A and B are shown apart, each in its own frame.
Chain A
Amino acid sequence: MSPKTRMIEVRENILKQNDIAARALRQRFQDAEVFVVSMVSSPGAGKTALLEKILTVLRTQFRVAALVGDLATENDAVRLARSHAPVKQIITGTVCHLEAAMVEKALEEWKLNQLDFLFIENVGNLVCPSSYDLGEDLRLVLMSVSEGEDKPLKYPTIFNSADVALITKMDLAAAVEFDSVTANGNIQTVRPGMAVFEVSAKSDSGMEEFLTFLQSRRTVRATATTRE
């Protein structure tokens, strides 16, 4: 006769280590009064080009910096350095997403209270990053006009983990016959009420509106923190 088994009840979040690290980061960001924005998308949706533009413009008024995640190479950090903002590459090796501990380690030598905005560019991947909280205030999900209007339907989980959607490469919209109404409709079916911005880092269209939005969200966060 096989030995009897009994059930032990546990209630442990599998990603608790990440959640604990993310919570600590969020507190640090709040204490340092730095507004943290992360970016997720498929590879090639234009995260780096958009970030280069954001850093270049915001740098004239704010203290900005960025962390960029990639499996290999420092190419993105080199590109972003052209904005003259402090940039650090996180090379994940074979890991397909950023985790809170990687962000924590990358920030070791940084004085967060000397920053107004910190941007975190995740590894290009629309699946795995959705499970990992990085302590950010705002998560942006990007889709470019050439990827197909049904991207949100194919990856509902990542759209659900994000706060704001950006449709990028709008300068190519006509060439690829991008259907804005359908794309926006699909975003709203998987994430009702989600704010969406249609932008082009190349032609600057939509950028001013988006950057004004980012600044207003930073102000809202700062006001909420003061009230606490």
Chain B
Amino acid sequence: MHELSIAMSIVDLAQEEVDRRSGAKIKAVHLRLGLLSGVVKDALLFSYEMACADTCLEGSRLVVEEVPVIVFCRDCDAQRPVHSTQMFCCSHCGTPTGEVVQGKELMVVGLEVEE
């Protein structure tokens, strides 16, 4: 359970942006969360509220976009999704592949601020 420390990093990161933008009021933080990031969405949402307490982000929302795992299949010479994180093979031809091209994201992509 390291979601609380991740949530606190999100708050720090947003706080830096607020400072840079002379105190804009943040309504929501938008996040891209890969299924292989090692972070659980529900635990993160729960921790976020606690991490925001007594900061300029208190009352803001965390909007999480879950990013599916995409692998590169050499046989198809194409990027393909996997059926599940228990089965790393091409969803098209079934060839096993460990070349992950997407799914490890843990990234703040946007801040919704009040005008």
Name A9's contact: one of B86, B97, B109 (CB within 8 Å). B109
A161 to chain B, nearest CB (A): 7
Smallest distance from the beta carbon of B89 to chain A beta carbons, Å? 7
A-B contact count (CB 8 A): 107
**Given the contacts A96-B2, A127-B38, A10 and B111 also touching, CB distance less than 8 Å:** yes
Cross-chain contact B6 with A14 (CB below 8 angstroms):
yes
List B10-60 residues whose CB lies under 8 Å from chain A.
10, 13, 17, 21, 24, 27-28, 30-31, 36-39
Q: Is A216 an interface residue (CB 8 A)?
A: no
Contact A5/B87 with A10-B110, A97-B2, A157-B38 known, Cβ cut-off 8 Å: no
* Contact indicator A14/B1 (Cβ below 8 Å): no
B107 within 8 A of A: yes
Q: How far is the CB of A170 from chain B (nearest CB, A)?
A: 24
Q: Are A130 and B88 in contact (CB under 8 A)?
A: no
B86 near A5 with CB under 8 A, answer no
Known A14-B6, A128-B38, A191-B88; contact A8-B111, beta-carbon cutoff 8 A: yes
Residues of A close to B10: CB separation below 8 A = 14
Residue of A nearest to B7 (CB): A14
Known contacts being A131-B2, A188-B96, is A14 close to B115, with CB within 8 Å? no
Bound CA span A127–B9, Å:
18
- Please judge, given known A-B contacts A13-B106, A131-B2, A192-B97, whether A4 and B111 are in contact too, CB under 8 Å: no
Question: Cβ of B66 < 8 Å from any Cβ of A?
Answer: no
**A15 x B9 contact (CB < 8 A):** yes
Which residues from chain A contact B9 at a C-beta distance below 8 Å?
14-15, 17
A6 interfacial by beta-carbon distance below 8 Å? yes
A14 touches B108 (CB 8 A): yes
A12 at the interface (CB under 8 A from B): yes
Q: A14-B13, A96-B1 are in contact. Are A190 and B85 (CB under 8 A)?
A: yes
Contacts of B97 in A (CB 8 A): 192
B67 interface contact, C-beta 8 A? no
* A3 at interface by CB-CB < 8 Å: yes
Question: How far is the CB of B4 from the nearest CB of chain A, in Å?
Answer: 10
Residues of B within 8 A of A156 (CB): 36, 85-86, 88
Once the chains bind, are A128 and B1 in contact (CB under 8 Å)?
A: yes
Q: What would 8 A/B residue contacts be, using CB atoms closer than 8 Å?
A: A3-B114, A8-B111, A9-B109, A10-B17, A14-B31, A128-B2, A192-B89, A193-B96
A residues contacting B by CB (< 8 A) are: 3-15, 17, 95-97, 127-128, 130-131, 153, 156-158, 160-161, 188-194
